[in-house]
Amino acid sequence: MVWSVDTIKLRQVPGSKDDKLRRMIGGRFKRDLARLDDLFDHDIAAGGPNTHEALRQIVDGTIPAGARNGAIYRYAYKLIVEHFGTFLDNGPVYPWRGGTDDIDKALADAGVPFRLATFYGLGLPNNLPYPDDFPMSGWVDEAAVLAARDAVNKHPGKPPGLEDVYDCIAGWFRQAAAKGRGLVSFYH
């Protein structure tokens, strides 16, 4: 899943102590928070934070040093991304099971300074505890989006057999660049 989002604004949320923002996200995503608490009930029972608490700790900048349960923090952060971001179509990429090597080679051949593999890591605009497994995440800032968009526009050719995937990725950069935004992804 990929969102076009102001990554500068995202970087300002942790430690902002913006209680109004936290309450807005908590209200807007009430069902998601409850669903995540059900998913992480074993971690919560073992003394970890529930999703509301993880969200509060992110916003207040009070994530305990050495915090475990990194997944719950990352899923809470995903709600912040959803709050500020615009979901982008990932239809051609999500069901695609070809690995990232072919599309990354096609992007490199086109001179696009981006690798899809970037979105299958643990990077985020803010430092959060690492998950044991999922969600995976990645991001590119606004400057990287502009550079990728410019490269895509200079190279209209599409790699054979990967046309739909390439068009989808190119669309992410065009849409985000049009709004002056970066990209953030989550995979789970």
Residue 64 predicted with pLDDT over 70: yes
The span from the CA of 28 to the CA of 9, in Å, is: 19
Instruction: For residue 3, give both structure tokens.
Output: 């969102």
pLDDT of residue 162: 84
Higher pLDDT, 26 or 98: 26
pLDDT of residue 97: 64
pLDDT of residue 169: 94
pLDDT of residue 55: 97
What are the strands, taking DSSP E only, across the chain? 2-5, 86-88, 136-140, 182-187
Q: In the chain, what are the helix, strand and coil shares in percent, each to the nearest 5?
A: 55, 10, 35
Residue-range definition of the domain harbouring residue 80? 2-187
The span from the CA of 123 to the CA of 23, in Å, is: 26
46 to each of 41, 53, 153, how far by Cα in Å? 9, 14, 51
Compute how many other C-beta atoms are within 10 angstroms of the C-beta atom of residue 25.
24
Higher pLDDT, 70 or 174: 174
- Compute the mean pLDDT over every residue in the chain, rounded to the nearest whole number: 91
Name residues whose C-beta falls within 8 Å of residue 142's C-beta, 6 or more positions apart in sequence. Answer: 6, 7, 8, 176, 180, 181, 182
Number of domains within the chain: 1
Q: With pLDDT > 70 as the criterion, what percentage of the chain qualifies?
A: 98
Residue tagged 């068009």 (tokens): 167
> Each residue of 84-113: pLDDT tens digit?
999 999 988 876 566 788 889 989 988 899
Higher pLDDT, 166 or 29: 29
